[in-house]
Amino acid sequence: MAKKNTYVIANWKMNPETLKEAKELFASVKKKTVKCSRTAVVVCPPSLFVSALASKSMAVLLGVQNIYFESKGSFTGEISAPMAKSMGVSHVILGHSERRAMGETDAMVNKKVHAALAGKLVPVVCIGEEARDRNGEYLAVIKQQITEVLEGVSAKDVKRILITYEPIWAIGKSDKESVTPGQLHETILYLRKILSELYDRKTALSLPMLYGGSVEPGNAEQLLAGGDISGFLVGHASLEADSFARIVESAERT
């Protein structure tokens, strides 16, 4: 398989309502993205649907939206990295703001990052501020998040992580209310600066960084061209196979 250098990851969140709809959406996504060669396409459905969607076809990869940091035991309602791996899952979204709003802390996300790496899953690690203030205090929030979630992760292992900038204020809106390419570029530069302090310059510059928050066909191309990113985590637009496929096409063209 040719090396993939862009990533488009679908975060279905708690959608759709039935397995029938999930199968239809997944089949449609597969069909519409079958020609892509440079872009890794990953769909993260509710974990309950994973086994029904798993197949030998590697054209579309499967991810889950969360794992617990222990590998097994008395943790009612949780799933673990080895369980996900054994179902054919390759990626896991960690630290999404909707989970943080339910009480997940940077320390917990950090433990999950280690569990995912140990379980040979690719962690898609979300960080992002709630709001932007004129004094740039949100930059300190981002710095603290990235520093804490990567605590204890080696320079070798950080290369297996897809760091995803997801400003909370831009999630679930429209392409018009999303981040601008300029704002994105600035923030990614800042993240790379912190990464070069945590690791080294070469590592910081080589890591693929993703963006999430109201990515739609209308802004995907611009964000890729001007944002210094390697792809997207897509929420609402991933529930519409056509829109999602158009975002994947934009990634293919970059």
Which chain residues interact with ligand PGA by CB under 6 A? 11, 166, 171-172, 212-215, 233-237
Task: Return the number of the residue (12 or 26) whose C-beta is nearest ligand PGA.
Answer: 12
Q: Of 83 and 234, which CB lies nearer to ligand PGA in the complex structure?
A: 234
Q: Residue 132 carries which side chain, given as an amino acid letter?
A: R
| Token output for 104 | 């997940």
Any catalytic annotation for residue 151? no
In the bound complex, what is the minimum distance in angstroms from residue 126's beta carbon to ligand PGA? 7
Q: Which of 3, 12, 8, 6 is nearest to 32 (CA)?
A: 8
**For residue 180, what are its two tokens?**
């601008």
Three-class SS state of 133 = coil
Q: Which is nearer to ligand PGA, 172 or 182 (CB)?
A: 172
Tell me how far, at minimum, the Cβ of 166 lies from ligand PGA, in Å.
6
Question: Minimum distance between the CB of residue 172 and ligand PGA, rounded to whole angstroms?
Answer: 5
Residue nearest to ligand PGA (CB): 235
Least distance from ligand PGA to the Cβ atom of residue 170, Å: 7
Is 236 one of the catalytic residues? no
Is 166 or 228 the residue whose CB approaches ligand PGA more closely? 166
Pairing of strands 162-165, 39-44: unpaired
CA 119 to CA 9: how far, in whole Å?
20
Cβ burial 187-201 (10 Å sphere, 16+ → b, else e): bbebbbebbeebbee
- If phi > 0 it is left, if psi is from -120 to 50 it is alpha, else beta; for residue 252 that is alpha
Tokens 């994973």 correspond to: 50
Catalytic residue among 98, 129, 166, 216: 166
For the record, the structure tokens of 67 come out as 């794992």
> Where in the sequence numbering do the catalytic residues fall?
96, 166
